Structure 1
Amino acid sequence: MAANVTLPEALPPLPTYELTEVSSLIPGVDDFYVSLMAPVVAYWIVSGIFHFIDVFDLFPQYRLHTPAEITSRNRASRYEVFRDVILQQIIQMGVGAVLAFLDPPEYRGKEEYDVAVWATRVRLAQRALPNMLALLGINAASMAKSMSATHPLLAGALSGGHYPFLTTGLAGPDGSTVPAFASWEIAVAKVIFWMAIPAIQFGVALLFLDTWQYWLHRIMHTNKWLYATFHSRHHRLYVPYAYGALYNHPFEGFLLDTLGAGIAYKLSLMTARQGIVFFTASTIKTVDDHCGYSLPWDPLQHISANNAAYHDIHHQSWGIKTNFSQPFFTFWDSFLGTMWKGDTSLKYERSRKNAENAVQAEAKKATSS
């Protein structure tokens, strides 16, 4: 005689859905143009704010460098910096247009279905719970039976996702019923779909971009030809300022920033709108890292140790072989021993005095001539 076998309980059916094309993020403006322009607009708005602070010297107590240092130490004019940044942004928009062209059209209307798919996975995962508890010497069936009257949902989970009391009626004259999800299963599924998955996508993108930029940046410094040919241009700004964040050789700008961010976007499987957020946030962070100020109320200065003060050390002649990490975190510098260690106050003070003396000497020379 065959043994009695208890078949798994039927799963709740998935809802139907109808797709409709996603409407424009900004009414009247196609998302294609938003994706191209948002990082550029953000770059100039944020750098413009810092430039205003810089020109009118609003917060001198939070400056990393004095105006005299900017004048005497930088080897690129403001015009050269502006010109090269515009060139890089043209390249960025070109690559952005290619990425947008490769993206499939986006539709809405499937969200409830996708949440139900995750709720189904949550239900299926519960089927392993009795066996897992058994490994710990816990009798899940006995616990479920004792809780069935007072905590039916908990009892259902302990029994392997068995919820015979959860049903819903189907539309139609026959009035038949089908299994339904528990409210907590739907809640968990929504957290996974709306929060956990996007967080993982952004985490993957940030991790990849930081890794990409660390290693390419470090190679640009360790290989003399690469440094002299490409990366040395960025270091003509010994004293960084906000709108000089993307002052690079065009090839390096494409390789380090544009290509790295594009691969991170594709690798993380972001939607086009997530990409807009990612590219814009990366741009703002890069500008903030080059702003030349350590503002205590600037949230981007406190998200991680990789901030304006951290990156500024890398721009100094004495710190140029350290602090390669950018733009978000410092873990590669920490793991590989390339993080600057020690006090920098005396070095900064010496730079300020030397710059002030140089400016005074130049002024005297101009007066005497």
Structure 2
Amino acid sequence: MARPLFDEETRQALLEVLNSGRLAQGLRVLEFEERFAEWAEVPFAIAVSNGTAALLLALMALEIGPEDEVITTPFTFAATANVILFLGARPVFADIQPSTLNLDPGEVERRITSRTRAIILVHLYGNPCEMEAFTELAERHGLALIEDAAHAPGALYRGQPVGSFGIGCFSFYATKNITTGEGGMITTQDPRLARRLRMLRDHGQSAKYVHEILGLNFRMTELQAALGIGQLQHIEAWNARRRAIAAFYTQHLRGVNPVETTPNSTSVYHLYTVRLAPGLRDAVRERLREVGVETGIHYPTPVYRQPLYQRLGYNESLPVAEAAAREVLSLPIHPALQDGEIRYVVEAMNAAIEDLGGK
């Protein structure tokens, strides 16, 4: 499903960091932040230890806590909602669009109350949400807008990069379009918010041993930053390769329904996901496993159905999210895939659908 790529220049940069003896946050982290901000078309980028830390710090910077509600999607990795819970606030789940599987703006608006403080949307699979609708909705109700862009570095909505509409939260986990092993980035247009985020990630320090607010250690290392700088040089080419693979899949796969792309947007296809009838989905997945094609299910259980949330009393029934969880199947898509491997995936998938579809 993923195969990280590193060039020789990046390998040498890692050795230089090791030889320098400066491993904790330093000049390379600053350089990575500056380069990422320029690329993402935002004035401020704050590097952190991972994508979950990015989401948590965004909420902390907004001072969200007990008695507050944050509306988000149930069709995501649990971290998106867990950070809300961790601060004592309440995640409120809204259903998703049946076409893109992204958060539905209309469903979000129906769940806004006097306690709602923010919306966390997810650019699922690398496909942007309907940012025009969400931006208008947030402004009209006075809500903070947080973009979980873990899947979507480089994705565009009407030509504007994701992460530049609200507070952007990126992940650089090992399988992501840009990887630093672990790591994350927060983007913002607000200088005061940027200053607060920098303090929160470093024990609340405004200067060495000057602790203005309560913070913890969510810093990025110099080794992670060296990886990130190297990755950023290739991201546009890698994203273009992902789009080319997705186009090939869409053209040649038979008997499947690919998840749709948001109109007026450019996806970066962190995942290429199709929908199959539940029984057929699992049988096809097993057939592909037998012939050496790895697949994934993103995501098999809506967050509110997880044991933690069931113990907390969540009893929602969001039909679009639940149907998606039964039907989605993600195929290999990453820039290291060779043309022959891509054709092999298509041939194996088509053969499995043809053989099993009639059964």
TM over 0.5: no
Q: Which has the larger radius of gyration?
A: 1
What TM-score, normalized to structure 1? 0.22
What TM-score, normalized to structure 2? 0.22
Higher relative contact order (CA 8 A, sep 6+): 1
Higher helix share: 1
